[in-house]
C-alpha cells in the first residue's frame, strides 16, 4: 500500500474541503495539516539518519586504515558505537511518526467533486431524472412481508429461530424469481462488454483496509473467528460484491492497452447493518445476508466520468425493462461514501410505502482505492500511474423482488412476472 504523503501536500485544500463538506468528525484536529507536518518531520529525520550512516562509514574506513594506532582505534570504536545508538534511536522515532502518518492517511476521505450537492444526508440529494408513471392503485397494495407470508414465499420466523433477526428463508417460486434476476442482470450487463465473475466471499484485513474506510465501516463487517489460531490471517466476510472484484488487482500494474477492465459479479454479501438500528426491521429490505450483482470498472483517470455515467445507464435499462418506476439522484456530500468522489443512487418506487427507496449506488472512487492497494497502469512509454476504480450496483436482488411484488401485485394477491423474466422462470404469475 502506498502512503505517499506528498499527495496530501498537493491536495491540502481539496482534502480539507472534503472533510468539511462531508460533515464528518475528524480523527484529530487539523488532520491534513498534521499529515503535512509529519511528512516534513519524516523527511528531515531520514536525512539526519542518512548523515549519521555516512559518518559511520567514514569512521569505519578510518578504523581499517589505522591498523597500528591502538588509542585511535579505541576512540573510533566508541564513535561507531555511539553513532549506531543514535541511528537506532532515530529509526525508532521515524517508525513512530510513520505509524501515526499511516493511521491518519488511511482515515482520510477522498476528495469530493464540486458537482456534488452540498448537504448532510440523503434529504439533500438532488433528483437528476425519473422514469415511469406512478399509478393510482384502486386497491391497497400489501407490503412484501405480509404478502410473502400469506403466500408462503418468505419465512422470517424460522430464520429468526435458526439464525437470528434480519435473515429469511426464501421459498417456492420466489427462489426462481431471485435466480432469474441474477441471470437476467448478469446477461444484460455482460452484453455491454462486462466479464461475468463469481468472487470469494472473504477478504483479508490488510486488503479490506485498502478498499474500505475501516474507521467508519468495520462495525458493519462480520469477522471470521478462529482462523488466527490456525496461523491464518484475519479475514472478514464481504459486505458487497465489488470489494473482492477490485481487490484481486492489489499490487498489480496493468498495461494501458488492457484498459478499461469491466467486470460484473454476482455473490452473496454479509453486513451487520450496524448503522441501521431500527430501520426496516421487518421483511427482506435490509438484511444481514443478501444477494446482488455488481459492476466495476478500472480505467484511466480521464475516462472515469464516461464510465460512471455508463454504469448508471446500464442499470437504468434494466429497470426500464422491468417497467418499474425509478429515479436517479445525485448524492449530497454528506450522504456519499467516505471514499467516493461522486455518487449517484437509483431509487425504485414502492407502492406499499408510497415513496422511492434506494436500489442501487454508483461510485467514482478515483484513485482512493488504487493508492491503498497499489493498483497502477503502465502507459505506452512505460510510465506508471494510479488508475481509477468505479463500482455500481447491478441489482440488489431482495430489494428488486420487493419492487416487483409491489409493482406487479394484483387485487387478488397474485404477482405477475415481468415479461423480461418469463423466459428464465417458465411461469407468468406467482
Q: What is the DSSP string of 227-246?
A: SGGGTPPPEEE-SSTHHHHH
CA–CA dist 414, 153 (Å, integer): 12
Nearest Cα to 352, choosing from 180, 145, 170, 190? 145
Q: Find out whether 233 is annotated in a ligand binding site.
A: no
Q: What residues contact 382, with CB distance under 8 A and at least 6 apart?
A: none
Q: Which three cell numbers stand for residue 142?
A: 400489501
Q: Find out whether 361 is annotated in a ligand binding site.
A: yes
Q: Find out whether 272 is annotated in a ligand binding site.
A: yes
Residue carrying C-alpha cell 422514469: 131
Q: Which three cell numbers stand for residue 49?
A: 539518519
- CA distances 235 to 140, 227, 230, 287, Å, are 46, 8, 13, 21
Q: Find out whether 376 is annotated in a ligand binding site.
A: no
Residue 169, classed as helix, strand or coil, is: strand
Q: Find out whether 365 is annotated in a ligand binding site.
A: no
Q: What residues contact 282, with CB distance under 8 A and at least 6 apart?
A: 145, 156
Q: Find out whether 283 is annotated in a ligand binding site.
A: no
Q: Find out whether 317 is annotated in a ligand binding site.
A: no
Residue 396, classed as helix, strand or coil, is: strand
Q: Find out whether 252 is annotated in a ligand binding site.
A: no
Alpha helices in 129-204 (DSSP H): 144-150, 156-162, 173-190
User: Per DSSP, what are the bridge partners of residue 389?
Assistant: 298
Q: Find out whether 360 is annotated in a ligand binding site.
A: yes
Peptide bond into 260 cis (omega under 30): yes
Alpha helices in 301-390 (DSSP H): 304-322, 368-373
Q: Which three cell numbers stand for residue 30?
A: 487539523
Q: Contact 132/325 with Cβ under 8 angstroms?
A: yes
CA–CA dist 340, 76 (Å, integer): 57
Annotated binding site: 240, 271-273, 294, 358-361
Annotated binding site for ATP: 271-273, 358-361
Annotated binding site for L-serine: 240, 271, 294
Amino acid at each position: 500500500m502506498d502512503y505517499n504523503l506528498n499527495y496530501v501536500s498537493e491536495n491540502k485544500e481539496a482534502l480539507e474541503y472534503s472533510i468539511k463538506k462531508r460533515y464528518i468528525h475528524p480523527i484529530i484536529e487539523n488532520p491534513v495539516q498534521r499529515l503535512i507536518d509529519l511528512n516534513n518531520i519524516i523527511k528531515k529525520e531520514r536525512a539526519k539518519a542518512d548523515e549519521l550512516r555516512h559518518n559511520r562509514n567514514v569512521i569505519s574506513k578510518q578504523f581499517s586504515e589505522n591498523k597500528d594506532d591502538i588509542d585511535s582505534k579505541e576512540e573510533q570504536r566508541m564513535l561507531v558505537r555511539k553513532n549506531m545508538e543514535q541511528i537506532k534511536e532515530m529509526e525508532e522515532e521515524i517508525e513512530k511518526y510513520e505509524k501515526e502518518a499511516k493511521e491518519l492517511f488511511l482515515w482520510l476521505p477522498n476528495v469530493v467533486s464540486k458537482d456534488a450537492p452540498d448537504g448532510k444526508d440523503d434529504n439533500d440529494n438532488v433528483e437528476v431524472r425519473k422514469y415511469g408513471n406512478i399509478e393510482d392503485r384502486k386497491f391497497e397494495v400489501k407490503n412484501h412481508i405480509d404478502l410473502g407470508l400469506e403466500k408462503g414465499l418468505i419465512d422470517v420466523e424460522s430464520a429468526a429461530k435458526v439464525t437470528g433477526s434480519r435473515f429469511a428463508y426464501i421459498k417456492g417460486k420466489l427462489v426462481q424469481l431471485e435466480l432469474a434476476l441474477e441471470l437476467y442482470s448478469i446477461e444484460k450487463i455482460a452484453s455491454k462488454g462486462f466479464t461475468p465473475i463469481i468472487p470469494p466471499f472473504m477478504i483479508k484485513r490488510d486488503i479490506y483496509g485498502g478498499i474500505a474506510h475501516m474507521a467508519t465501516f468495520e462495525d458493519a463487517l462480520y469477522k471470521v473467528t478462529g482462523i488466527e489460531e490456525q496461523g491464518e490471517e484475519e479475514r472478514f466476510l464481504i459486505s458487497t460484491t465489488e470489494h473482492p472484484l477490485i481487490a484481486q488487482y492489489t499490487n498489480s500494474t496493468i498495461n494501458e492497452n488492457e484498459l478499461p477492465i469491466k467486470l460484473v459479479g454476482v455473490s452473496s454479501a454479509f453486513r451487520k447493518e450496524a448503522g441501521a438500528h431500527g430501520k426496516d426491521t421487518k421483511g427482506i429490505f435490509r438484511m444481514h445476508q443478501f444477494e446482488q450483482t455488481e459492476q466495476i470498472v478500472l480505467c484511466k483517470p480521464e475516462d472515469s466520468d464516461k464510465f460512471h455515467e455508463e454504469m448508471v445507464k446500464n442499470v437504468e435499462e434494466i429497470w426500464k425493462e422491468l417497467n418499474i418506476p425509478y429515479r436517479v439522484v445525485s448524492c449530497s456530500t454528506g450522504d456519499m461514501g467516505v471514499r467516493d468522489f461522486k455518487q449517484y443512487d437509483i431509487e425504485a418506487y414502492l407502492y406499499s410505502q408510497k415513496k422511492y427507496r434506494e436500489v442501487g449506488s454508483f461510485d467514482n472512487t478515483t484513485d482512493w482505492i488504487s493508492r491503498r492497494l497499489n493498483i497502477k497502469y503502465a502507459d505506452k512509454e512505460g510510465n506508471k500511474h494510479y488508475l481509477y476504480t468505479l463500482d455500481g450496483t447491478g441489482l440488489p436482488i431482495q430489494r428488486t423482488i420487493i419492487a416487483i411484488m409491489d409493482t406487479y401485485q394484483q387485487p387478488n394477491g397474485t404477482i405477475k412476472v415481468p415479461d423480461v423474466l418469463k423466459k428464465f422462470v417458465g411461469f407468468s404469475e406467482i
